[in-house]
Every structure is written in C-alpha cells, then in structure tokens.
Amino acid sequence: MRPTHDVDPSSSVLPGPEHEKWEMILHFFAGTTHEIFQVQQAEMTQTVSTGETIILSCSVPDSFPKGPVLWFKGHGPNRELIYNFKEGFFPRVKEIGHPTKPDNTDFSIRISEISLADAGIYYCVKFKEGKPDTEFQSGPGTKVFVTSEFVSSTPCYGLSSQLTNPLFIELLDYAKYY
C-alpha cells in the first residue's frame, strides 16, 4: 500500500526520470515531517534518586521562528521557570548543548542535587521572538519521578510494613525538611 501525500507525484508535469526522483523523495519522507517540525523530548518518563543528577533532553528544529527556548516544571499560568538559556541564575541547572551557536538544535539540560521537590513534569518550550515573546510550541513533557531511601540507625518497631511503602518513605523524607 502506497502512502498518501498532500502532493500527488503522478500529477506532476515533470518528465520521466525527474518525476521518478521526486516520487521517491516524497515516499521516503512520508510521515516524517510531523516529527521533524516539533519540539522533541526523547524521554517520556525518568526516575532519579535524591542527590543524583538528571539530564532532560530537548531538540528544537532550526526551521522554527527566531526566539528563546525555556524549560518549565508544570504547565499553565503557575508553571515554574526551571531554565532560561539567555538570562537568569539557575545554580543547579546547566545547559548541555551549545545554545549560542546559530545552528544549534540541542537545548538539553542537566539538573544536579535532585530532591523530592523536583518530581513533576518538565516541558521544553520554544517561544517566538516579539514584544513580548509568545509561546510557539511546547514539547510533550518528561515526567520525573524522584525516589528516596529511608535509612535510620534507630530501630522503628511496628513500622516494617510502612517502610517498604515508597509513598510512606517519601513522606518521611519530606518531613525531615520541615
């Protein structure tokens, strides 16, 4: 079965071999343009332990309009800015690619010293330059799970079943910060 296209190569006015070349090219790229022209985040989910480092990948097509790329945790009006490649102070976040190069498409970041508060969904978002910049397209998001191991030198009687429950462990870990 042949893929369908918006352009029908058989209706082309190109003669013989030229027509066949274009038909091959259209068939080769059929179905890929949808992926080529999107903000890509390779991992849908990642799990990391407290204290570790995580890498969040993001690829933005160079054909997109000029404008910044930002990373957010969450979505909507209350989302939290995680990283801005142009400005700001983000001590635990480092860029991986070379975002200042004109042909750069890699906007991946590394977040160090992960804590339970870092769990959530992270979005790589491309903006269109303007006054003000407007959101052009967001990646699908990467859901980050943070795990923690509860270690105690004090015996805890009656808690053995709770200590194997990850939610209980995370609540205990979270409680030690408050």
List CB contacts of 10: < 8 A, sequence separation 6 or more: 23
User: Is the pLDDT reported for residue 34 higher than 70?
Assistant: no
In the prediction, which pLDDT does 14 show? 40
In the prediction, which pLDDT does 150 show? 59
Q: Tell the residue number behind the tokens 């000029």, with chain if given.
A: 66
Q: What tokens does 134 get?
A: 């407007």
User: Is the pLDDT reported for residue 12 higher than 60?
Assistant: no
Please list the residues that pair with 56 across neighbouring strands: 109
User: Is the pLDDT reported for residue 32 higher than 70?
Assistant: no
Three-state SS at 170:
helix
pLDDT tens digits for range 80-94: 999 999 888 999 999
